[in-house]
A and B are shown apart, each in its own frame.
Chain A
Amino acid sequence: MKGRRVVITACSAITPIGHTRAEIVDSLRRGVSGVKPLREDHLLSKFIHSQVFGTVDYPVDFDFRRTYRKTMGPVAYYACQVAKEVLDQAGLPPEFVTSGRLGVAFGSTHGSPTVQREIYKTFFGASQSEFRAIGAVDYLKSMVHTTAVNITKMFGITGRVISSSTACTTSSQSIGFGYETVKYGMQDAMLCGGADEYDTTTVAVFDNLMACSTAFNDRPRCTPRPFDRQRDGLVVGEGAGAVLLEEYEHARKRGAVILGEIAGFACNNNGGDLILPNRAGISETLRLGLEDAALRADDVDFVSAHATGTKMGDVIEAQAIHAVYGDGPFVTGLKGYMGHTMGSCGVIETILTLYMMQDGFIAPTLNLEESDERCAMIRHTLHLQEQPIRFASIQNFAFGGVNTNLLIKRFV
């Protein structure tokens, strides 16, 4: 079914390797890691084997009025900040923002875990007075759609709300579902993205599953190591990202700067195990994405791999990439720079790919020094490439067997 063209007219990210476009591009070009020692949290950190975290360790200048702040946990601060920057950058007419033709697709892994932690402390506290200390706004801060609706409240957005919460595919689904919403005419623009805050609970969960990196606790910047022989697991991180998707004619008529175009999207499920990566399921997502974009495999110059740095996940993904693309496109695992920013990884990796596409370079996979022979059949980006990208594929896979493939096109 042919739909309308959908373009990207603004983007912004808060990442462990920088906030502004210039900072992020500089980190990618210079191989700067945003992985830092895990902070003491006086609760879980001393029990966690993995002592590293992809950390936003610079101040972000939030300037929100009280009426907006009161329903926000840290994750919503991140979400509203990148949304604000995107709307400022896009320059949409104020009457369009509130017209009902702009919607929001935004999510996080699980609301605000910082607020949830306080609620649980109160639940398990001894006294009645402590129970009553749970504030009226605690639910609004911790519900899974807290990011999306804090954004709609702050900007008076009255269109559709989609709030995906599918762990690592949260924000790639936001972009994908936002794309389909605009493509098929339900909205003229969608503000899409995801966020996740600093949270040791997530680290503890993956640590218990023995999925986290532990061998580089004394050298945080050396992990994660996507596709590398010495990789030993993922590194949890924090961050946020937002993109504005707009129907092409709408963007053109108002003279918007077009940063790139969404060429296609696919999402499927492995239909089985909720944890183990599945080559057939992933390969099918990649194939479906190409089909949706009406592209051949050799049209794609660059693959942003999900590549978390786990033992099995990277092997299965490399096999799937090879099965669909062969050894044609450069493949980079951007998590090498900042770890796994969970619900925000899809949108952050999309924005980083967009920056590289605009500037004509491909960043190498940080910490990939010697490929695991089981991952070696694809074209790894081992060094910075001054190389144009026409079409890029951004791949993300989540617990629960959810897979996404987003294809973006350089706009010329």
Chain B
Amino acid sequence: MTREQIISEILNIFSREFEIEQPGLDNDLRETYEFDSVDAIELLLGIERFLKSELTHDEKKMAMEVRTINHIVDYVERLVRVREREAHQ
């Protein structure tokens, strides 16, 4: 899965779930779009559906650090790499 594909899906989630269209990739989501902790939990559900894989408790805790779309994409890329590694073991 490429970074562009992840960006595209994350933007889809933001549009569909949060009515936030084309957010700036480095904008602070809380300050710019009122993205809060409730949204963060909903986002994790969206990411689980996207990856068709449940996130572990530690993975979910890691997500609490994200502040921008680019942070989220970085986070999802890490999840994808972990799952690809696990699939090859």
> Chain A interface (Cβ within 8 Å of chain B)?
65-67, 70-71, 132-133, 135-137, 140
Contacts and interface: CB of A to CB of B under 8 A. Distances in A.
Given A67-B34, A132-B48, A137 B42 contact: yes
B54 interface: yes
Contacts of A65: 34
B19 A66 contact: yes
B20 to A, nearest CB: 8
Chain B contact patch, size range:
10 to 19
Nearest to A133: B45
Given A66-B19, A132-B54, A137 B38 contact: yes
Contact of B18 (A66, A133, A136): A66
A136 B38 CA distance: 7
A67 B36 contact: yes
Contacts of A135: 42, 45
Main secondary structure of the interface of A (DSSP, over half): loop
Nearest to A67: B34
A71 B18 contact: no
B51 interface: no
Nearest to B17: A70
B45 A132 contact: yes
Interface in B12-58: 18-19, 34, 36, 38-39, 41-42, 45, 48, 54
Contacts of A137: 38, 42
A137 B18 CA distance: 13
Contact of A140 (B38, B45, B48): B38
Given A67-B36, A70-B39, A71-B38, A136 B19 contact: no
A133 to B, nearest CB: 8
23 contacts: A65-B34, A66-B18, A66-B19, A66-B34, A67-B34, A67-B36, A70-B38, A70-B39, A70-B42, A71-B38, A132-B45, A132-B48, A132-B54, A133-B45, A135-B42, A135-B45, A136-B38, A136-B41, A136-B42, A136-B45, A137-B38, A137-B42, A140-B38
